[in-house]
Amino acid sequence: MRKGKLVAFNGSGQPLTLLEHDIPSLGEGEILVRNRYTTLCGSDLHTYCGIRQEACPSVLGHEIVGEIVEIADSHPGTDDNGEALKPGDIITWSIFSSDPQSVFAQEGIPQKGTNLFKYGHAKITKNNAFHGGLAEYCVLRRNTGVLKIPESMPLPIAATLNCAIATVAASLRMAGDLTGKNVVIFGMGLLGIACIAMCREAGASWIGAADIADDRLLHAQHFGANQRINLRQHSEEGTDVLKKQFVKKGVDVVFDMSGSPDAMELGMDILAIGGIAVWVGAVFKNRKVGIDAEKIIRNLHTIKGIHNYNFDDFKYALDFLENSWQKYPFDTVVEQEFELKEAEQAFEYAISHKPLRVGIRI
Ligand SMILES: [Zn+2]
């Protein structure tokens, strides 16, 4: 039987262990992938630090690109764009698989469908160990979205597609048509900066970038932000000045990628009449957000939440990245690279230096 290496996460505070495991033969509709590159996402760091509880031992890492090794005969043999797949192709895949016939999947929310399986979050079992990015291989299950990556796209850039970039694509879908719109984005992690570039490409006329860190705000400017808003220095007068520069005395759309209740509350304050708030970042426990119902009603505000993405968002993310990775400095996103056996150093570096991403070259 073939074997491959994987890095097991044994719980927060426990050392990661490099193991060798049997690679199972493929089941119905499955694809065997040789992982080539994984970037550590914020939720990987949350799990590693114990902020988020997952079953263990598990294989972390879900922002992955890899090379097809084998495709089960029962797989349709094409990706989500209808392109033929063959061994050697570089692909990425949706972070989840779920039953396409389930009620939620039928309503365009497959990320909440029944029999949901999420890569980089599952427990290692005897027959099923290769389902995360911190491993040499990954077995793609039936009903997983697959996209072929153009050969010209660097692996560290392509790796971020199936979580960060696709989630941003879903956020833009929530916001609707952005042509000529004024937008403020809170939180200048990878989601925030990618959101700036995607809003720019979608025709937004003005984009404000808000964060508490100056270096992140500076970086955001290179992705197309018109104005930097440092939330540490922000005041009520600052909010008034910001709003007054727009004809509608507020912005059309706010995106929250930060998860900070303060940021979400400020976002509601700067929305113009008819504005939409899209909340994405608050995927961890925090205090409740203060909502002024009267203001929401009188100002015709809409608040939308989005978690993960659907297959249309996934394809939109690839189109966006294909057209834009050379237009914006996406090559600056991975600030440090490690090997698979250095996974623990990669986590420690990510936690202490807070780069947008660290990369694992496999
Ligand atoms: Zn993620």
Is residue 320 assigned to a domain?
A: no
Is residue 327 assigned to a domain?
A: no
Is residue 103 assigned to a domain?
A: yes
Question: From ligand 1's centre to the CA of 228, what distance in Å?
Answer: 25
Residue 92 is predicted with a pLDDT of 98
CB 96 within 8 A of CB 118: yes
Question: From ligand 1's centre to the CA of 169, what distance in Å?
Answer: 14
**Domain with 262 in it:** 168-305
CB 99 within 8 A of CB 143: yes
Q: What's the pLDDT band for 355 if we cut at 50, 70, 90? A: very high
Residue bearing tokens 């200048």: 188
Task: Summarize pLDDT for 32-91 with one digit per residue, the tens.
Answer: 999 999 999 999 999 999 988 888 899 999 999 999 999 999 999 999 999 999 999 999
Q: Are residues 221 and 242 in the same domain?
A: yes
Q: Are residues 190 and 339 in the same domain?
A: no
Q: What's the pLDDT band for 284 if we cut at 50, 70, 90? A: confident
Please say if the pLDDT value at position 195 is more than 90. Answer: yes
Question: From ligand 1's centre to the CA of 261, what distance in Å?
Answer: 20
Radius of gyration of the chain (CA): 21
Give the helix ranges, DSSP H, for 34-188.
42-49, 103-106, 155-158, 166-175
Domain end point (choices 269, 285, 305): 305
Is residue 295 assigned to a domain?
A: yes
Question: From ligand 1's centre to the CA of 9, what distance in Å?
Answer: 16
Please say if the pLDDT value at position 334 is more than 90. Answer: yes
Question: From ligand 1's centre to the CA of 61, what distance in Å?
Answer: 8
Return the ∠ at Cα 138 (arms to 147 and 52), rounded to 5°.
Answer: 95
Question: From ligand 1's centre to the CA of 164, what distance in Å?
Answer: 6
Q: Where are any strands of DSSP class E within 237-295?
A: 251-256, 271-279
Helix (H) or strand (E) holding 359: strand 357-361
Q: Are residues 153 and 232 in the same domain?
A: no
Residue 126 is predicted with a pLDDT of 87
Question: From ligand 1's centre to the CA of 160, what distance in Å?
Answer: 9
Please say if the pLDDT value at position 18 is more than 90. Answer: yes
Q: What's the pLDDT band for 300 if we cut at 50, 70, 90? A: very high
Question: From ligand 1's centre to the CA of 150, what distance in Å?
Answer: 22
Q: Are residues 12 and 143 in the same domain?
A: yes
Task: Summarize pLDDT for 240-283 with one digit per residue, the tens.
Answer: 999 999 999 999 999 999 999 999 999 999 999 999 999 999 99
Average pLDDT, the chain: 96
Please say if the pLDDT value at position 285 is more than 90. Answer: no
The pocket of ion ligand 1, defined by CB under 5 A, consists of: 41, 43, 163
Question: From ligand 1's centre to the CA of 39, what distance in Å?
Answer: 9
Q: Are residues 156 and 44 in the same domain?
A: yes
Is residue 174 assigned to a domain?
A: yes
Domain end point (choices 290, 305, 320): 305
Residue 317 is predicted with a pLDDT of 98
CATH of the domain at 199: 3.40.50.720
Question: From ligand 1's centre to the CA of 40, what distance in Å?
Answer: 8
Task: Summarize pLDDT for 150-165 with one digit per residue, the tens.
Answer: 999 999 999 999 999 9
Is residue 322 assigned to a domain?
A: no
Q: Are residues 65 and 124 in the same domain?
A: yes
DSSP 257: -
- Total count of domains within the chain: 2
Question: From ligand 1's centre to the CA of 243, what distance in Å?
Answer: 33
Q: Are residues 38 and 114 in the same domain?
A: yes
Q: Are residues 19 and 126 in the same domain?
A: yes
Residue 342 is predicted with a pLDDT of 97
Q: Are residues 114 and 227 in the same domain?
A: no
Residue 127 is predicted with a pLDDT of 87
Task: Summarize pLDDT for 126-136 with one digit per residue, the tens.
Answer: 889 999 999 99
Task: Give me 23's structure tokens.
Answer: 């690679």
Question: From ligand 1's centre to the CA of 203, what distance in Å?
Answer: 26
Question: From ligand 1's centre to the CA of 191, what distance in Å?
Answer: 10
Residue 130 is predicted with a pLDDT of 97
CATH of the domain at 104: 3.90.180.10
Is residue 129 assigned to a domain?
A: yes
Residue 1 is predicted with a pLDDT of 77
Q: Are residues 58 and 175 in the same domain?
A: no
Task: Summarize pLDDT for 306-320 with one digit per residue, the tens.
Answer: 999 999 999 999 999
Please say if the pLDDT value at position 17 is more than 90. Answer: yes
Mean pLDDT in residue range 206-227: 96
Question: From ligand 1's centre to the CA of 344, what distance in Å?
Answer: 18
Q: Are residues 142 and 174 in the same domain?
A: no
Residue 30 is predicted with a pLDDT of 98
Is residue 319 assigned to a domain?
A: no
Q: Are residues 23 and 143 in the same domain?
A: yes
Helix (H) or strand (E) holding 220: helix 214-222
